Amino acid sequence: MKKRNLIAACAIAALTTMSIQAQTPIYLDKNQPIEDRVQDALSRMTLEEKVAMTHAQSKFSSPGVPRLGIPELWWCDGPHGVRAEIEWNSWGYANWTNDSITAFPALTCLAATWNPELSYAYGDALGAEARYRKKDIILGPGVNMYRHPLNGRNFEYMGEDPYLASIMVVPYIKGVQQNGVATSTKHYVLNDQEKWRGHINVEISDRALHEIYLPPFKAAVVDGEGWTIMGAYNKVRGQHACHNELLLNEILKNDWGFDGVVVTDWGGAHDTKEAALYGLDVEMGSYTNGLTSESDFGYNDYYLADPYLAMLKSGEVPMSTVDDKASRILRLIFRTAMNPDRPWGSQATPEHAAVARTVGEEGIVLLRNEPVAKKSTPLLPLDASKYNKILVVGENASRSLTQGGGSSELKPKEEISPLAGLQAIYGNKISYAAGYKAGRSMYGNVEIITQAVEDSLRAEAVAMAKDADLVIYVGGLNKNHEQDCEAGDRITYSLPFAQDQLIEEILAVNPNMVMTLLSGNAVEMPWVNRVPAILQSWYLGSQAGNAIANVLSGAVNPSGKLPFSFPKKLEDNGAIHFGEMSYPGDSINQTYLEDILVGYRWHDTKKIPALYPFGYGLSYTIFEYSKPEISTNKLLPSETATVKVKVRNTGKVAGKEVVQLYISDKKSSLPRPEKELKGFQKVDLQPGEEKEVIFTITPAELSYYDDARHEWVAEPGIFEALIGASSTDIKGKARFELVF
């Protein structure tokens, strides 16, 4: 009897399950087309539920629809690693013990690799860590242009050239999103300074907007298929970027066909009606400064909360606005939080450490490598047998550089300092002197270092340098406030903490100096011609020490190339050249007076040589280029041309070279830069090995944006394809004509 009852019960359960499955809503069925799922879920939601999805419910989450089983979204700061857990409703850290991660190199370093394959590996590792931490969106990558060397967040971006940033951002996005974690490309757009970032109004020509500042964002949306975009803090032509009719409705969603979510930077919304009408989808962090401040307002007081609901009910804004926002958010949820096929992720693995180290090694740029005194060979790589006493000087050799900097601050499971990396190779030959002390300085809270302490540290380092065979100086900036840090631009181009004086005094007693600069910005170098070897080493994250030591020792041949120009002096930069109204503005408005001449475009066109040009970087080997060959000297608009060049490693060690293609328009209706980057390839060559590099040229690479016609134009005429090892080191030219 009991057996029959059990069988009957099982049969009823099976029929019930079949009935439930037959009635499963479309939005819960992953096998249904995503747009059908979006529309089905939308049809089941109340107006209040739709509105709730468009604003935050905590510092880093936004609501789903609990009644329908639709989960909330969890957002997380990046773009160099998954930030430690923040409390539900404050900026304080939650002090978890299981949120230590891999700190990856800053995006300036990633850009300096000029290696799209590494960008994909970086994104994939970052996405896996975000997924493991149950994050749905990582707030990165950053692709604002490096307009000038004072911007506090330049270290989070990919340099001064829109083509380089466009090529490097796409694989990053694809790598992250294959883990079922969305990227949020930021800060859209013209957030090119931190000073007055919350309200400064940027005036810019259409041409500069389309040629320089928009392309990386377009690449992120169109080629990378990124699922979210973060709006900028600043205004653009009088409207805040987070609810800007031109930027969001006309360009992003209409022209580019973006089907994802626009999210504010934290505190970036300022008006309910504009937010409703002009393209914003999710409002986060309102009534804060985006970093530290709190308010008495609750989440229902947000612009897209109760005030928005009231406008919808009164008819002041149309219902179609909330349906569009909710549809985009649902699409994001189905791609991330309700995607049952996404992997589980992983965190702080040896594989991720290897990615961080490799990016660091390939991103380090060798700026200078000269012999010391009358010696015939360059100082680097360091031959351990030649040195018994190696003095490491500089607080950055031992200081954690994953802390500070604002929202990109990280909590790494492991952080190998430059000092530790060098000790691992050179052992007890290494001694250390701090030389200077920076203290901590965040958002105006400054730790004061007395003059007596400063003098004492400098004197100790100089005294030890007299007795050393070699000095390795590890200095630069350090992500303090008003150095490389969110919410404050740099106030000087020179090195802080009297480092220039320290460097000069060490050189006076010991000219055998290797300098490795840790920064995300160019710095002034008054001692440049007296330091035999200089590395630009960025902020390298968890594996910083290993990457630096491997390059210095020669275990790795440096192959990084600068993603931005180093001006000799600050006034040589195009944005700074035009004075206050160009940067930083008058506190209300600013105008980009250098227009399209950003970075090397300015230096080359205006004949103002940079100290170190865009695309520059030395190697421990020698590369020789053949004369470039072009497939045709007359190019029709419907055709493509190819440019071929052979590159040979004529040195004694293996190395990687970045072969760069620039295009020069010899005559045009509108002024153009002397040359523009339109292609690059990184080739790996053994000693004596030769490879052929092929570039394809289409009329698109020859075009400029005509702001009178509001379209891209390729004019007939003479062009040159320039093959170079940097923007100024041109190895060969091939002339051709575009004919209609």
Residues that are catalytic:
265
DSSP state of 104: P
CA-wise closest residue to 146 among 191, 116, 106 = 191
Torsion of CA 662, 112, 78, 262, to 10 degrees: 0
Cα–Cα distance between 463 and 146 in angstroms, integer? Answer: 39
| DSSP annotation string for 578-603 | T-TTTTT-SSSEEE-TTTT--THHHH
Cα-based distances in Å from 18 to 7, 21, 74: 17, 5, 33
Half-sphere exposure of 226 (CA within 13 A, CB side): 34
Strands 365-369 and 533-536: antiparallel
Cα–Cα distance between 29 and 651 in angstroms, integer? Answer: 60
Phi–psi pair at 694, nearest 5 degrees: -120, 130
Cα–Cα distance between 543 and 328 in angstroms, integer? Answer: 38
Structure tokens at 65: 């629809």
Strands 182-188 and 137-139: parallel
Cα–Cα distance between 220 and 360 in angstroms, integer? Answer: 23
Helix (H, G, I), strand (E, B) or coil at 89: coil
Cα–Cα distance between 158 and 478 in angstroms, integer? Answer: 19
Q: Are 172 and 230 spatial neighbours (Cβ–Cβ below 8 Å)?
A: no
Strands 513-518 and 470-476: parallel
As beta bridge partners, residue 231 has 188
Residue with tokens 């293996």: 654
Q: Are 272 and 304 spatial neighbours (Cβ–Cβ below 8 Å)?
A: yes
As beta bridge partners, residue 470 has 390
3-state helix, strand, coil in the chain (%, to 5): 35, 20, 45
**Residue 232 CB neighbour total at 10 angstroms:** 24
Q: Are 70 and 55 spatial neighbours (Cβ–Cβ below 8 Å)?
A: no
As beta bridge partners, residue 590 has 202
Task: Outline where 340-477 has alpha helix (H).
Answer: 350-363, 418-426, 451-466
Cα–Cα distance between 179 and 590 in angstroms, integer? Answer: 40
Say what angle helices 116-132 and 350-363 make with each other, to 10 degrees.
150
